[in-house]
Amino acid sequence: MLPQLTDTNGKCLNCGVALHGNFCVQCGQRASTKRINFKETLNSFLGLTFSLDGPLLLTIKLLFVNPGKLFREYIGGKRKTYYKPVAFFVLVTAIYLLLRASINFDPLEDEFVNNGQENLSGLEAKIEEAARLVSENINNFMFFLVFSIAFMLKLFFRKTYNLAEYTSIGLFIVGAYTLLKIITMFIAKFALVDIDNIELVILVLLIFYSSFSLFKSFNFWSMAKYSLVSFLSLVL
Ligand SMILES: [Zn+2]
């Protein structure tokens, strides 16, 4: 057991404010901060990331069960309860790319002819491949999709939230879509089904369902707007 780092002056080790109680009133850091060690680091990472009532799993659950509640509460100020949208988007994309590389799934393999990379072998080829996958994904679809969803929501529901808030919603929605892509990727890989059209349908339904859940309005005009947001996000 490593000794605690104790500040003899009773001040927060992070920001220097005088301590009262178990957490710093200024920055929220634990008053009894321990020395960094691997076991603690791993435990707190696993705890934060995968605990059942932790922000990540709660966020994922709400994204599919009641996305509107997640968006409203997160934007409304409930920040610690949920996983941050940017972090969520990055984490899910990283997991997706990692899994995709590990099962050697290339969604572009029909369109792409192997462009003279046969000479690279082993690790070098793997790194080359990973770099290509990352750049493709960041440059192409997902990143712009976030902003086109945000832009369309802002266009049709101008008054409710600002563009930055809609962008966080876009990040959540595309994150949820990426999670579903992981599932369809495995289906495509092992059942040899063409999933391009299925993925498009899933995406349209997901955007529609998310905006419906967010605004909870049943009237015809709202329904038309959810549909327009869903389709135009893709067109854009
Ligand atoms: Zn502090």
Residue 11 Cα to ligand 1 middle (Å): 8
Q: Where are the alpha helices (DSSP H) in the chain?
A: 38-50, 55-65, 67-75, 85-102, 122-139, 141-156, 163-191, 196-215, 220-235
Give ion ligand 1 contacts, CB < 5 A: 12, 14-15, 24, 26-27, 29
pLDDT for the residue 162: 94
Nearest to 101 by CA among 125, 69, 65: 125
Per-10-residue mean pLDDT, the chain, length 236? 59 87 88 82 76 81 94 91 90 88 67 47 68 59 85 86 93 93 87 78 89 84 80 74
pLDDT for the residue 176: 95
Residue 93 Cα to ligand 1 middle (Å): 32
Residue 27 Cα to ligand 1 middle (Å): 4
CB atoms within 10 A of CB 19: 19
pLDDT for the residue 168: 95
pLDDT for the residue 6: 56
pLDDT for the residue 132: 67
pLDDT for the residue 142: 83
Question: How many angstroms separate the CA atoms of 136 and 230, rounded?
Answer: 23
Residue 9 Cα to ligand 1 middle (Å): 13
10 Å CB burial of residue 234 (0-12, 13-18, 19+) is middle
Q: Where are the domains of the chain?
A: 52-235
Strand partners for 18: 11
